[in-house]
Amino acid sequence: MPELTERSFRRLLEFLDPAGQHSGERYEKIRGKLVRFFEWKGCIPGEDYADEVIDRVAKKVDQGMESAPDEPYLYFHGVAVNVIRERWRKASRDPLPLETVPRSAIPSVQPFEQRPGEDDSERRLGCLQDCIDRLTPASRELVIAYHLGGAGPRMGRRRGLAEVLNLPAGALRLRVYRIRRQLARCLESCVGNV
C-alpha cells in the first residue's frame, strides 16, 4: 500500500478537525486507540496495523467522501475491523504447517529438572516432563507457547500465535486440544507405571 502523501495527510487532518485547532491531538488519540485495539485483538505490532488503517482512511478522504461522519474514530474503527477480517480470512485460506513456522516466532521454555528425594507431586511433574519431551519439537513448542502467561496477555498472544501460524483461532485451539489429549494419555500411563 502506498505511503501517505503530504496532500493526503493534510486532508486527513482537515477531516479530523475542520477548524484545524486540534487535528494533531485527534490524530494521535485515534492512532493510540487503534494501536491498543489491534494489540487487544492479537495483531502485533499494533502500530503497523494502525498505520495501515490510517493510510486507507487518508486515501478514502483524499478521493473524496460523500459525507463526513460525526465521530471520525468510529469510521477508523470500522476500517480496523475490516482489516482484521481480511487477516483472518487470509489465515483460514493459507494455514501453515507447524514445522514451517520459524522457531523464533514461538517462545522457548527451559526444561524442568527432577531432584533427588521427590514426592508424589514431583513424580507427576517428572512424568509430565517426560511426556512433553516425547512430543515432536513443533508440538511441544506450540503447546508451551499457547499456555504461557496469565489470562490477560495470553488472549492477545494466542491470537498473535494463530496469526503467525496462519490459522483461524478455532483451528489453533483444536491443535492444542489434540496435543493436550495426547499428553493426558501419556501422563496417565506414566503415573500408573510409577
* CB of 175 closer than 8 Å to CB of 112: no
C-alpha cell of residue 154:
495470553
C-alpha cell of residue 49:
496495523
Domain stops at, among 93, 121, 156: 93
Task: Indicate whether 161 belongs to any domain.
Answer: yes
Residue 114 confidence (pLDDT): 46
Task: Indicate whether 122 belongs to any domain.
Answer: yes
Cell 496477555 belongs to: 153
Residues 183 and 110 placed together within one structural domain of the fold: yes
pTM over 0.85: no
Domain stops at, among 50, 77, 93: 93
* CB of 62 closer than 8 Å to CB of 8: yes
Task: Indicate whether 1 belongs to any domain.
Answer: no
**Domain residue limits at 27:** 6-93
Say if residue 133 is exposed, middle or buried (CB neighbours under 10 Å; 0-12, 13-18, 19+): exposed
Residues 82 and 128 placed together within one structural domain of the fold: no
Task: Indicate whether 61 belongs to any domain.
Answer: yes
Q: What is the mean pLDDT of each run of 10 residues along the chain (194 residues)?
A: 72 79 85 86 80 88 75 88 84 66 56 54 83 86 73 64 80 86 88 71
Question: What is the CB neighbour count within 10 angstroms for residue 140?
Answer: 20
C-alpha cell of residue 137:
519439537
Overall domain count for the chain:
2
Residues 161 and 126 placed together within one structural domain of the fold: yes
